[in-house]
Chain A
Amino acid sequence: MPINYYIFLALALFCIGVAGVLTRRNAIIIFMCIELMLNAVNLLLVAFSKMHYAAAVANAPGTIVGTDAQLFVFFIMVVAAAEVSVGLAIIVMMYRNTHSIDINFLNRLKH
């Protein structure tokens, strides 16, 4: 499949994520949108990695050039999982305090 398809898919996912973050007030949905953006990036990384690997193998069989981005993706997923746990914990605490998960309540941190 041409790389363009992956790029457009990733772009579409990312834009949906951004739009969701900007427009929604529900903390969980915003969270999900952030995950969407992360995964759009992951998808791109994997796609480019596969493309470079295919090109490198064609020139020199047995090489591992281009696979490092796939390793990155695992790290991102791990960090994202950790982040999700922290984020969800914050949301839980927020709900306990305010009985709401509306993001606009967070502006109280200012006071």
Chain B
Amino acid sequence: MSNILNYIWLVPLFPLIGFLINGLGRNFLSKTLVSFIACGALLASFVVSVYFFISVKEGNHELVKLFDFISVGKLSIPFEFQIDALSSLFLLIITGVGFLIHLYSTAYMHEESNAHYARYFAYLNLFVFSMLLLVLGGNYVIMFIGWEGVGLCSYLLIGYWFKNTDYNNAAKKAFIMNRIGDLGFLLAVFWIIQQFGSVSFGEVFANAESKSTAVLTGITLLLFIGATGKSAQIPLYTWLPDAMAGPTPVSALIHAATMVTAGIYMIARSNILYTLAPTTQSVVAVIGLATAIFAATIAIKQNDIKKVLAYSTVSQLGYMFLGLGVGAYTGAVFHVMTHAFFKALLFLGAGSVIHAMHHEQDIRNMGGLRKKLPITHLTFLLGCIAIAGIPPFSGFFSKDEILAAAYEASPVYWIVGVAGAMMTAFYMFRLYATTFLGNFRGTKEQEHHLHESPWAMTVPLIVLAILAVIGGFVGIPKVFAENAHSLEHFLSPIFTQSEELVKKDHALSHSTEYMLMGVSVALALIAILYAVNRYSKKPELQDAEGFGKVLANKWYVDEIYDAIISKPLKAISIFFNNVIEKSGIDGFVNGIGEGVQYASRQLRLLQSGQVGSYILLMVLGMIILMVVQFFIK
């Protein structure tokens, strides 16, 4: 039975084949064929993943070595895939949600020309392939290949409409921000090689306890820098909201199933290193919490339907990092899963709205879409409830697990976290109320064309809505029922080593836990009621003023980065160009040329043609030689 896991390479193979066929044949294939190939590849991957998942659930896990990738001296880096509880769970999320997004895209992108349509799906398949490589990789180098792959694909997809300069700039921004993080990751990998002499997860984790805390702190901090780039945390998060430039299903893919979860996955995978480096854990928790609350404040004042969701993603990722930071690894992975469901749902729902509104994204021009788009409305509402953390929807369980763990670590974490959760509920329902309730505020023409999306778009919405509602039941906390947390049980082999190190001396009492849940749910409900009440009747149509303006402008972070990094960098570049390059390097090179010319001009005078002077010089030379010889002896 365990042999079957040796065929794990099938999972990434299908998207790769899909990418090659669609990418190479983009000028010949019809749209039907392209969508069939792309969706088929993902569906095949998903089916195989389910099969492997069941096999892993029976207790199998395997390290599949495919071939030697790099072999230098004592260092050997095989191309290996690791299939265990964590990676198989991610496989399911990636291929499952990925398939739904592919299916949705077939309808959403149907206006594109044939070649561009095929290009889109080729990128999409490559994206999924890279992500699969990332989670399947059995060592840090293979993970890094996938890590770079998703960075590249996000660049390609964000800049998909490459004729628009703003979109290209957004793509470049995403790529550069990611590269900054990738450098941290790369340095961490080098350090790991230097310390452990291997990059395989098994060997590194087994020897982790013998290394000094300082070294582990350094390595984990560098890895975390990588994670802040990929998973959009302070200070490298600014690319994610700009990544909205891509087509909406791409945003869903980046935000829900792939890419941003890479950082969470990497830290969850390296959990033992983080557990052994408490300083890094605190850094992760604080950065996560800061990002969660910071992004939530920005989301409150955004008027672009996708921007709100983007900042909500950044905020939710902050919660995941908070979970990782306080040692609730299961909770973080759980939140990745539920977040994948409801965030994909919300993005696809937003896509459906945008599709119906003919590429209108400003929520101030929407309103009252409830009747025109019934399926979108209902599924979007379910997604909002799920993200707001209302029981028994999925978001409640995962967020509550993280918040409970945060309370154990420090009540301050919990207070800030709950404040963020309250804001989440508020801005999501502000978005919901402004978009779907009240009266329609768009043009007559838009109103005339309003229509529910085709089945290829609504079916993924319905499936995701169901998942968003029931997805939480795999992780029912102990308070409600003993041993009902099947996810924790499933993932326990991954986190045992860490859990043995951190012996929980006291678990939260049941009453405390009920109290925590009660408070967060009550606050979320208040926020929801207030938001719905306020924005369904009288949506804010004016531009924000005062402090709201600061929030609407995203705390001016882009401007600050521009002022403290881009502008000085540009000034230095200009200085180097004008001064160092022109007078320094050019001056040096030209100086050599001019010096040689000058010296030649002077030497030329010696060639006077006067025989007498030649002879004189000759004689002088002889005399000098004689004198020199005389004195040297």
Q: Interface residues, chain A, CB within 8 Å of chain B?
A: 18, 21-22, 25, 103-104, 106-110
- Nearest CB in chain B to that of A109: its residue: B609
Most A CB within 10 A of own CB, among B610, B611, B619: B611
Instruction: Report 24 cross-chain contacts, Cβ distance below 8 Å, ordered by A residue.
Output: A18-B619, A21-B615, A21-B619, A22-B612, A22-B615, A22-B616, A22-B619, A25-B612, A103-B611, A103-B612, A104-B610, A104-B611, A104-B612, A106-B609, A106-B611, A107-B608, A107-B609, A107-B610, A107-B611, A108-B609, A109-B609, A110-B607, A110-B608, A110-B609
- Nearest CB in chain B to that of A111: its residue: B609
Q: How far is the CB of A95 from chain B (nearest CB, A)?
A: 16
Q: How far is the CB of A84 from chain B (nearest CB, A)?
A: 18
Residues in A neighbouring B607, C-beta threshold 8 A = 110
Kindly state the separation between the CA atoms of A16 and B619 in the bound complex, as whole angstroms: 13
Per-position contact with A for B595-611: 1 when CB-CB < 8 Å, else 0? 00000000000011111
Q: How far is the CB of A59 from chain B (nearest CB, A)?
A: 28
User: Taking chain B's interface residues, is the majority helix, strand, or loop, or is none over half, making it mixed?
Assistant: helix
Per-position contact with A for B407-429: 1 when CB-CB < 8 Å, else 0? 00000000000000000000000
- Nearest CB in chain B to that of A106: its residue: B611
Kindly state the separation between the CA atoms of A108 and B608 in the bound complex, as whole angstroms: 10
- Nearest CB in chain B to that of A24: its residue: B612
Q: How far is the CB of B69 from chain A (nearest CB, A)?
A: 70
Q: How far is the CB of A107 from chain B (nearest CB, A)?
A: 3
Residues in A neighbouring B619, C-beta threshold 8 A = 18, 21-22
4 nearest CB pairs, A to B: A110-B609, A107-B609, A103-B611, A106-B611
Q: How far is the CB of B400 from chain A (nearest CB, A)?
A: 100
Residues in B neighbouring A110, C-beta threshold 8 A = 607-609
Residues in B neighbouring A18, C-beta threshold 8 A = 619
Kindly state the separation between the CA atoms of A21 and B332 in the bound complex, as whole angstroms: 101
Most B CB within 10 A of own CB, among A104, A107, A109: A107
Q: How far is the CB of A26 from chain B (nearest CB, A)?
A: 12
Kindly state the separation between the CA atoms of A107 and B607 in the bound complex, as whole angstroms: 10
Q: How far is the CB of A72 from chain B (nearest CB, A)?
A: 20
Residues in B neighbouring A22, C-beta threshold 8 A = 612, 615-616, 619
Residues in A neighbouring B608, C-beta threshold 8 A = 107, 110
Q: How far is the CB of A110 from chain B (nearest CB, A)?
A: 3
Kindly state the separation between the CA atoms of A110 and B611 in the bound complex, as whole angstroms: 11
Kindly state the separation between the CA atoms of A18 and B611 in the bound complex, as whole angstroms: 14
Kindly state the separation between the CA atoms of A109 and B607 in the bound complex, as whole angstroms: 12
Kindly state the separation between the CA atoms of A109 and B612 in the bound complex, as whole angstroms: 14
Residues in A neighbouring B612, C-beta threshold 8 A = 22, 25, 103-104
Kindly state the separation between the CA atoms of A110 and B608 in the bound complex, as whole angstroms: 8
